[in-house]
Structure 1
Amino acid sequence: MAETEAPIPKQRPIVRLGIFLISHSFFFSVVCCTAGILALLLLPILAKNTYISENALMPGSANPMLSNQEVLEANRFVKDLIALNSKPRGAGIESQRLIAQYMTDLGAEVNYHKFHPQVTQFHPLQFFSSSDSRIVEQNISCLSYGVNTVGIIRAPRGDGKEAIVLVTPYNSDKITQGEAISLGIAYSVFSLLPRVTWLAKDIIWLVSDSQHGEYAAVSAWLRDYHMPVFTRLHTGSTETCPDINYLYDVKDNSIAGRKVNDGFKRAGTMAAALVVKVVERSERFDDSLNIYAEASNGQMPNLDLINVVNFLAVHRQGFRVQVEKLRSLLDSKWLKNLGELFESAGQVVRSLNPQWRFGIPAADYTEGIATLASSLYNQALGVPAGPHGAFRDYQVDAITLEISPRASVDRMIRQDDFLLRGGRLIEGVIRSVNNLLEKFHQSFFLYLLTSPSKFVSVGVYMIAFALLVAPLPMVAASLYADATNLNSSQKKEKPTRAATIPDEPGTTLRSWKWVNAAKKVFVVHLWGLVVSLLPYFICQIPNCSPTVSFIIWFLLSALSFFIMFLILASPFSHAEASQLHVREWAILKSVTISAIFIGLCLMSVINFSTAEIGGLLVVPMCLMAQPMRHDIRVGSLRTLSRLACNLIFCLIGFPPVTFMLLKGAFEGFHSINVGDFWRWVDSLWAWSSATYLYIGTVHLPCWRVVHSPMVRTVE
């Protein structure tokens, strides 16, 4: 009786699905990439209205207590500050003493905080540390020191374990009208708080000396606040500065029993921080309030903090709240046409079912895209949008409030109204944060804004990124499978000694051809790391302009690539690799796509916006790349079109060219030079932006592998 053959076990559904997608990788790639771009364009339509997640905040539940009496005192304070500009000695030291005087009049604990500038040049060993841990200058002159004035009000009902920080930057050398009014707004609130009964958190008013930069002053104070230094560094330099020592000479103070403290005063853990700035620019509408929230590496404060400010500013004080947007996109014709298309689609959907909500007016869509693009761009840069970014390095939720009056505030009546509304806004925010029993945690930390009152959460915008990068592993697997099948068919047609003797070691090594491709990809990524470190050495060249620095960087990068590749993975090192076979090109592309997929996924965890923008550039470039010599030899319309696309992606995928094109599209091409790219990169590494590492170690190596002469193959 003949033995029956054992039935072949059926594969699992997930395995069959994977095989189906790999076998149809081209169709899958086209569908996913198109859906990913469409999902990104649909984000303004999918955005939800903001809402207060933490019920304890209760914004606007109590009537404001700030009255005209506090406004009168603030007006007197503003006049005294402006009057200092006419003194021959200057406003520097006198303004700091005047601010301290007013603080002590309110019963606050006052101290001066001396800080010095720090070197902002790139240093590879400190790249992953916080942006404020930089190199200290050794020879510091008296003019290089800045002095912050800090006042603390202890909460009568608090235990001193929590605090709210109010920051007002100003230039101590010459106080502008806007800076004086911002100080007046903060003073009006600061003068009210010692008399209220509801205060449960300490209030810190930091008047930061911005003559060396707004961020530098705030970050220096935060560094000393969280990491106290018990040894007096550089005391010799400060003791030889008579102006700084003059600040502490307050024995002739008319306030009995009060003086400025010599030591560094602290309060509790910071619950939140507000940076208040008044910018004098005429507005066509009502008084406006611009909110800046982006911090280093795309970090954002808790959305509830923005929601509280937006609610109080719009519904209580009548400000017109705005967030930054790319103005150039507002006049884009294709964007307006796309908005009209979505608006028409929304009308059709609502006609089918009134409960289905899809589509928004074309004008709202255009503005939403402009705001979304600005939010993506600012987060991708990784550079803080204001001094509030220093707080996020210590996990403190903070935003910058930039208030712009509708007209000039020189007139007394107009200035009183502006101070009253601005002070009541700050009072309301402080009162809401004061109600919290714990830190902000209820709302979102990962989000994109499409307007001050609409946002896109991480669960929605990650869909666009997932669709965009989903084809990469499928295409990599398909290329590797095709290369393996091609190898098997070649062995059947032309059997070799290695194929007929399965026990020979060379047979096993034939299945490890991907190791050679992986070695080449690894070498190129190693070259990208070298390129990322070169600016540190270029910065050591004295009197080197940005244009010259960029040219030196470009030449050294090209030289280092050829040297490293010839030594470690040269295709010219032996005759067999002089021209790669089609199968080896497929394996090389498979490994490259796998590397870029891993790089994009890792970058999405660090900074999603960088990964999203990088995916829009890299994914089409990787999927379209094919051997150029083969396309030229075939000469069909399809291959020539693909060759043209490869050349276009090769051009726009090169980081300097990409930067120039984007800068020209948004700002115009009339003022572009190659030095702008060096300045931009300089800002990235100065702020320890992860985007800099992504460009050097992920994007640039991928571009180099895909569009290098090494990938030219023959049949």
Structure 2
Amino acid sequence: MALISSILALRRDKRILKIPPYLSALCVIVGIAWLLVLPLNEYSRGTYVSENALLPGQVHTYFTGSEHNVFRAYRHEVHGLIDKPVAERSQRLETIFREQNLKVATQHYNYTVSNRTIANENVYAILQGPRADATEAIVLIAAWKNMADEVNNSGVALVLTLARYFKRWSLWSKDIIFLIPGDSTSGSQAWVDAYHDGHDQRYVESLNIKSGALQGAVAVDYPAGPWGQRYDKLHVVYDGVNGQLPNLDLFNTAVQIASGQMGIGSVIQRMWHHDNSYKDRLQTMLRGMISQGLGHATGPHSSFIPYHVDAVTLQTVGDGWHDEMSLGKTVESLFRSLNNLLEHLHQSFFFYLLLQSNRFVSIGTYLPSAMLIAINFSIAAMALWVKSGRRTEPIANPASTQPKSKPASSADKEDKGDTKPTHDIKHAKEKAPAPQQPATELLEIDGALAIVPVASTTVTERALLIPALLVISAHALGLVPLYLFNNWDADHLPGLFITTANIITLFPIAVAFLFNYTSPHILTLQALTLIQCFSLLLLGMFLAALATLNFSLSVLIGVACVPLSFVRRSTNMGINAVQLGMLALLNPCMVVQIGTKLLGGNLAEILVTAAQGWHIWGLWTQVVVWLVWFPAWIACSVVVASGIFD
């Protein structure tokens, strides 16, 4: 019982509140350090194929010889369609597929995003597998224009050639769909949405013909001109929308076939020269985290992954000795492996970080990093909750406040007729409560130790309604920029961004001024503490849940919000001004602008791409920024700004 009483007594000890900031800092430091050790051999492992049925690189490929002449003929024909109207181009591609005895159809789509129209046509053909029952299908994609807005001349020609080549084989146990979307992102998204009946018929046309469940997809990005161009390596692009990833078995199969069977080097995340050093591993991992955190589409394959269709893009890079025949053999061998599947890919990892093409980190190893960063906010919130329920009151020195009474003499007692028995007086003294001693502490004053009274801490009732309503209002306020940035005119988006950045920077100061001079009873010290408490608690909960869906986005937002755990309202106006200046540099708009400059991007293009992602891909990065990060920043900034006007 004495032990329990001692533990319960710690709740009133003010020293307990000094521990959480150090504990939060420890969680952040360990979380970031956890990421930095992942590239080491002890925390990562080599890639391997879990699904034995794939048998990558175990078949002999026959795509050679006369197929090279067919490819060159198609390449010149595709080159002649570059300047043709969309309808004429689609009609010609449709004719080529129909000449190969394939079922062919077209699909028109027309999106309007930020007062810009995105209209084009998709052409697709279906090869019915001789041994298939139309229940499963594999997709081969070559977008008319790649992510760099270049005409995918040789890529489209290669798909046309492979369609003719695959038609002659009787070994296919799955249908093969050949898809040529109008562009790399919107076209493939429109097609896969319509294939799964998830499209809006006002903007996307329904598909006239379909096959079975999609088991996988491979996109080819080979923008060589009419005379061709040899390449050095294959850049395997695997990032999907919202940071989703394909099954690692598909990626490993593509790399193993390219590197092991065809002798083509494989690279990822634009690391053209990777020497397997710690620095290159770390840089590759961070590039992958940024790409997954942004959540944008990185190729035609990205739109398939949200529908649980594993997909990758094979992009040719460099200037070497490999030609289109090597790429054709790679695709043939990859489709032969996918053709062997008896069930959907499921045995390998869906959550991973790649350090290079043959080394990865699994979710069980890297997830604690994001959780530690998220826990730091929860620890700070709990400390603020305890602090909000305590009220500190100074205790005056009894020696100076209580009047000293003169001791009564025996004569006085006799005059008062005090004849009370001695044993009664003793009994009364035993029942009387002992006088309460004031709380004291040992301090050094003028070089000498002295015992002085200190403030006492009492438990007070928390007024939760107003702080909860203000935090909810901050989250609701995030809906305004979320709507504006996704629906504003594309030509005026940069101006809207600059205006919003200025308003956001001044908004906390304006709110604090308004409340302090019009309703000072609302933003009391307890209310401000509870506002920051609720905000950090929600932030920690959101980031912990997000870490299981998009680890990279959770880490990026968590690191950007770390200062929110440590800023506090101070009685010193200078400290409040310094904290407010630091928070002004960490508001979402400033971070986006600084990040854009560091990554060498164009702010206007990023804003338009984000709006397209919202309307076409279903991007949720903006939701996290404006409904999770922004409200937490607003709440903490208002708390700090309120100290300036005291």
- TM-score, normalisation: structure 1: 0.71
Offset of residue 577 of structure 1? 4.4
> What does 1:187-586 align with in structure 2 at a 5 Å threshold?
187-208=160-181, 210=182, 213-227=183-197, 264-280=208-224, 287-325=232-270, 364-404=277-317, 406=319, 418-484=323-389, 486-487=390-391, 489-490=392-393, 510-535=460-485, 538-539=488-489, 545-554=492-501, 570-577=515-522, 580-581=524-525, 583-586=526-529
1:215-234 C-alpha deviation (Å, 9 max, x unpaired): 222222223323299x9989
C-alpha distance 194-366 of structure 1, shift in aligned 2 (>3 A): same
Counterpart in 2 of 1:623? 565
Q: What are structure 1's unaligned runs of at least 5 residues?
A: 1-5, 123-134, 138-143, 239-261, 331-360, 408-413, 495-507, 633-639
Q: Aligned in 2, Cα 1:537/1:659: closer, same or farther, shift over 3 Å? A: closer
Residue range with higher mean Cα deviation, 424-433 or 44-53: 44-53
1:25 aligns to 2:20 (yes or no): yes
Cα pair distance change 1:523/1:77, threshold 3 Å: closer
- Aligned partners of 1:29, 1:663: CA distance in 2, in Å? 29
Pair 1:694-2:597 in alignment: no
Which residue type is aligned with residue 626 of structure 1? R
Q: Counterpart in 2 of 1:501? A: none
Instruction: Output the CA distance in 2 between the equivalents of 1:677 and 1:162.
Output: 37
Compute the displacement of 1:56 (Å): 0.8
| Corresponding letter in the other structure for 1:67 | T
- 2:102 maps to 1:108: yes
Letter in 2 for 1:712: G
Following superposition, the deviation at residue 182 of structure 1 comes to 1.5
The sequence identity of aligned pairs, in percent, is 21
Query: Whole-Å Cα distance in 2 between the matches of residues 681 and 227 of structure 1?
Result: 24
Question: For 1:371, what is the secondary structure of its paired residue?
Answer: helix
Structure 1 CA distance for aligned equivalents of residues 25 and 84 of structure 2:
66
User: What secondary structure sits across from 1:62 in the alignment?
Assistant: coil
What does residue 594 of structure 2 align with?
661
Work out whether residues 158 and 328 of structure 2, in 8 Å CA contact, stay in contact via their aligned partners in 1.
yes
Within 2, Cα distance between the matches of 1:509 and 1:11? Answer: 18
Alpha-carbon separation, structure 2, partners of 1:587 and 1:440 = 48
- Does the C-alpha gap of structure 1 residues 232 and 575 become closer, same or farther in structure 2, counting only changes over 3 Å? closer
**Counterpart of 1:195 in 2: which secondary structure?**
coil
Distance in structure 2 (CA, Å) of the matches to 1:308 and 1:295: 18
SS at match of 1:163: strand
2-structure distance, mates of 1:29, 1:432: 49
The DSSP-based 3-state class of the residue aligned with 1:117 is strand
Query: 2:238, 2:245 within 8 Å by CA — same for their partners in 1?
Result: yes
Q: CA deviation digits over 1:371-402, x for unaligned, max 9?
A: 11211111111211112122123221111111
Distance 1:20 1:64 in 2: 73
Aligned counterpart in structure 2 of residue 40 of structure 1, from 7, 21, 35: 35
TM-superposed CA distance for 1:115, in Å, is 0.3
**Alignment deviations for residues 420-456 of structure 1 (CA, whole Å, 9 cap, x no partner):** 2111100111011111111111111111222121222
Distance 1:437 1:22, change over 3 A: farther
| Superposition deviation, residue 651 in structure 1 | 3.4
Cα distance between partner residues in 1 of 2:569 and 2:510: 24
> Following TM superposition, by how much is the alpha carbon of 1:551 offset from its aligned partner in structure 2, in angstroms?
4.4
How far the C-alpha of 1:403 sits from its partner, in A, is: 1.7
CA distance in 2 between partners of 1:483 and 1:58 (Å): 62
Q: Alignment partner of 1:198: what SS?
A: coil
Bigger shift: residues 96-105 or 38-47: 96-105
Question: In 2, distance between residues paired with 1:555 and 1:519?
Answer: 25
Q: 1:618 to 1:160 in 2, by over 3 A?
A: same
Separation in 2 of the partners of 1:459 and 1:20? 36
TM-aligned CA distance change 1:693 to 1:21, over 3 Å? farther
Question: Matched residue pairs, number?
Answer: 576
Change (3 A) 1:589 1:421: same
Q: CA deviation at 1:462?
A: 0.9
SS at match of 1:75: helix
Unaligned runs of 5+ in 2: 398-457
Are 1:67 and 2:64 matched, yes or no?
Answer: yes
Distance 1:491 1:401 in 2: 72
Shift of the 536–52 alpha-carbon distance from structure 1 to 2, 3 Å rule, reads: closer
Distance across 1 between alignment mates of 2:554 and 2:169: 48
Deviation at 1:565, TM superposition (A): 8.6
Letter in 2 for 1:290: H
The Cα shift of 1:661 comes to 2.1
Map residues 137-176 of structure 1 onto 2, 5 A cutoff: 146-170=120-144
Q: CA deviation at 1:263?
A: 8.2
Change (3 A) 1:405 1:650: closer
1:591 aligns with 2:537: no
Report which stretch shifted further, 153-162 or 185-194.
185-194
Report the residue type matching 1:422 in the other structure.
L
**Residue type at the aligned position of 2:393:** Q
Q: 1:521 to 1:479 in 2, by over 3 A?
A: same
Counterparts of 2:178 and 2:539 in 1: how far apart (Å)? Answer: 47
Amino acid at match of 1:117: N
Shift of 1:463: 1.3
